[in-house]
Chain A
């Protein structure tokens, strides 16, 4: 596709708004968390934890207990649980998190299930101290149902044909072309070159393709998340591409295929470019057998 001629290094003329409205708040002063569905395999959790809440927990459990505790997200599978009380989930699993991150993408263990995420402390002696509980969120199944309707029976072979004709192999494909075209459409009047590398946010979608007839199966994949913060005036780049800071923080995620090395140099520089800071993060995933 041709590059749009109208997007050049021109200064945007009309938005120098005399009454430009100030920035929006970083938070709303309330401890709470929300869990959103992203796709059959991923959830997005964001939260705010006030110092008041943390002080209260410290006063209840003691500074020592918390210092030796890990901060975690405890993801509960609450499918078909009528009233979740914190202990009656189908199962749960824990992942470490830093509260300051304020949001996290969570790889759900199974598609088509319903989840609640608890943020809290896991103490050295294995106790869980709840800081915030999210809303409940259901994920889509991401595959064809096993349930067959007696009243609307169809011969299996015909159903497989229909699935193919219906484009089951192309789910979600082709939409990127639409995205590109429609994105271009808006570009007509756009003069500011865009900064953020959108490819950072793309990752493989794990469509559940379970072979029902096999006795046992195992799948695993890996992504890495790199996060950090920098002073407000810093311009941060990862692997040579400038990234956007959100309230002084950044995070990127990237798929890490088997047998690959990821080498991500992180640079920060001031506006003049005479002061720089540098951190390099490398990760190696060995070829699985």
Chain B
């Protein structure tokens, strides 16, 4: 232990639902992935590269969820992303000429430089495989990559523990295949924890997970350190780390959060709407409808209408990001200093955010992180960045507390994923889960086509269990798509189930689903067997 007064664990949760539509040459919702790649994931790698090159040490914990990893390694999506990135480079190059001598010259130059840099990283350093980049920094000990439930399934609403077991086991298998070791930690989808589910984590060698603050505050017995130290779950010894609300608010608060600064980039004013139609058309989707294309030339400015926004100044915005990073660090120093007067050990502050907040939503969030890493490294020694694994090495003794059921959703429990707008899905999710375990128990040693059909059945089940669909139904955005996805997977599941039960499996049908819903090539339907679940429950 050094001279630091306490620790800061920064945790970013990177996730997108599995969206891949080979049946269309051009698909709108796939853009979520391409946008996040160019605005968040590759820019983050770029920060790691820069920091490493200049010798700045840093620590960051990131969940890369299995659906996201599957998309990052999908040949079709890689190819389509390549096209997307090429188009951005091409357009930003044209823009250099168009904006020369105007107030937008600097911002156009910024996009061109960034896109080219990201293209260079993507093509020449990672050869199309960005996971290799993330793995590299994990192997260097700077980045701790954790997994997530297989398809971001919402565990507390799963009645059959076979499904919980499968969500964890499939995720852990996927992780081992990609990163060559056990996942040490997991991000439970939506931080939704159900007491006892830690048994399935322990079985896969997972040593820690994260909860919302009241997951630990409402734990039994009372947590001695509040949320400023992890606790161990009874029987399993899996550690739970809770989210610090103070640092969360600094970024998320609508009134006082950093991202609302008037000098930052305005999200809603986009070139897709601003430029001449004929000029922008080649960069729109094939239907030719104007949409956001991710290049924005204006700053938030203030409470003015979109057409009164002023030109974005990249240099100015970066300075603000540096200022905010300094403020964030200062607040953590004060927080840790005060906490250390109450605690009899060095406090740990866990700051957790959605990764896509940085870069995609809060454009300068990437710069903010880079400055924060630098400032913490060079400017002070009161707080030290740490990963959960490192913390547990320093403090292997922790209080045993049974965390409370909780989530980080609105109101702190399951309301977002279970309300009158989406509760109809559980009839189907739970029935499918029951049918899946029924068949897994019935056919313990299937092979050939039956095995393929059963494995695909498992894929349809996990895909329908993505918490994203219920979430989108609640927010009202992409409601049509999320409803359709839920229904499609239920339909495909039922059709396959009937075929298997009727001993009339249609190979063509199985093949078409394997191509389309191609997540988890390693799927083994046996993870749904009741014996597998019982074995885990008995063990702990």
Contacts and interface: CB of A to CB of B under 8 A. Distances in A.
Contact of A159 (B212, B222, B408, B419): B222
Given A21-B488, A142-B218, A166-B226, A185 B195 contact: no
Contacts of A257: none
B367 to A, nearest CB: 19
A171 B214 contact: yes
A145 interface: yes
B138 interface: no
Interface in A184-228: 184-192, 194-196, 198, 200-202, 205
B410 to A, nearest CB: 4
Contact of A143 (B218, B225, B245): B218
A178 B244 CA distance: 15
Contacts of A184: 361, 477
A39 B413 contact: yes
A144 B414 contact: no
Contacts of B24: 14
Given A24-B487, A34-B426, A37-B405, A185 B356 contact: yes
A137 B491 CA distance: 28
Interface string B204-215: 000000001110
B218 A144 contact: yes
A192 B480 contact: yes
Contacts of A259: none
B404 interface: yes
Contact of A190 (B242, B356, B428, B478): B478
Interface stretch (A72-80, A89-97, A245-253, A281-289): A245-253
Given A140-B405, A145-B218, A190 B477 contact: yes
A38 B418 contact: yes
Interface string B397-416: 00111001110111111111
B475 interface: yes
Given A24-B428, A148-B222, A183-B477, A163 B217 contact: yes
A212 B354 CA distance: 38
Interface string A229-253: 0000000000000001010000111
A28 interface: yes
A103 interface: yes
Contacts, number: 259
Contacts of B213: 166-168, 170-171
A178 B356 CA distance: 12
Given A38-B413, A181-B357, A189 B222 contact: no
B85 interface: no
Given A140-B218, A149-B221, A188-B292, A198 B476 contact: yes
B536 interface: no
Contact of A25 (B354, B416, B494): B494
Contact of A4 (B268, B289, B415): B268
B29 interface: yes
Nearest to A205: B411
Interface stretch (B71-79, B126-134, B247-255, B449-457): B247-255
Contacts of B224: 149, 152-154, 159
B26 to A, nearest CB: 7
Interface string B260-291: 00000001101011000000000001010111
B245 A167 contact: yes
B424 A38 contact: no
A92 B381 CA distance: 59
B420 A252 contact: yes
Contacts of A6: 270, 272-273, 290-292
A21 B245 contact: no
A189 B414 contact: no
A39 B407 CA distance: 10
A176 interface: yes
Contacts of B494: 24-25
B135 interface: no
Interface in B188-220: 195, 212-214, 217-220
Contact of A162 (B29, B292, B342, B361): B342
Nearest to A36: B157
B31 interface: yes
B221 A145 contact: yes
Interface in A118-152: 135, 138-145, 147-149, 151-152
A158 interface: yes
Contacts of B222: 144-145, 147-149, 154, 159
Contacts of B401: 149
B430 interface: yes
A140 B406 contact: yes
B306 A5 contact: yes
Contacts of A38: 413-415, 418
Given A5-B273, A181-B361, A166 B227 contact: yes
A12 interface: yes
13 contacts: A6-B273, A6-B292, A13-B28, A36-B418, A39-B414, A44-B418, A144-B217, A166-B213, A166-B228, A170-B245, A181-B361, A186-B478, A189-B291
Interface of B: 24, 26-29, 31-32, 35, 156-157, 159, 195, 212-214, 217-222, 224-228, 242, 244-246, 248-249, 252-254, 267-268, 270, 272-273, 285, 287, 289-292, 306, 335, 338-339, 342-343, 354, 356-357, 360-361, 399-401, 404-406, 408-416, 418-421, 423-424, 426-428, 430-431, 471-472, 474-481, 484, 487-488, 490-492, 494
Interface of A: 1-2, 4-6, 10, 12-15, 21-25, 27-28, 34, 36-40, 44, 46, 48, 103, 135, 138-145, 147-149, 151-154, 158-159, 161-163, 165-168, 170-172, 174-192, 194-196, 198, 200-202, 205, 244, 246, 251-253
Given A6-B291, A39-B414, A165-B335, 20 more contacts: A2-B267, A14-B27, A15-B484, A24-B490, A34-B159, A36-B414, A40-B413, A148-B221, A161-B342, A162-B226, A166-B244, A170-B213, A172-B410, A175-B410, A178-B410, A185-B356, A185-B360, A186-B477, A189-B29, A205-B411
Closest 5 CB pairs of A and B: A167-B245, A183-B475, A172-B412, A194-B476, A201-B419
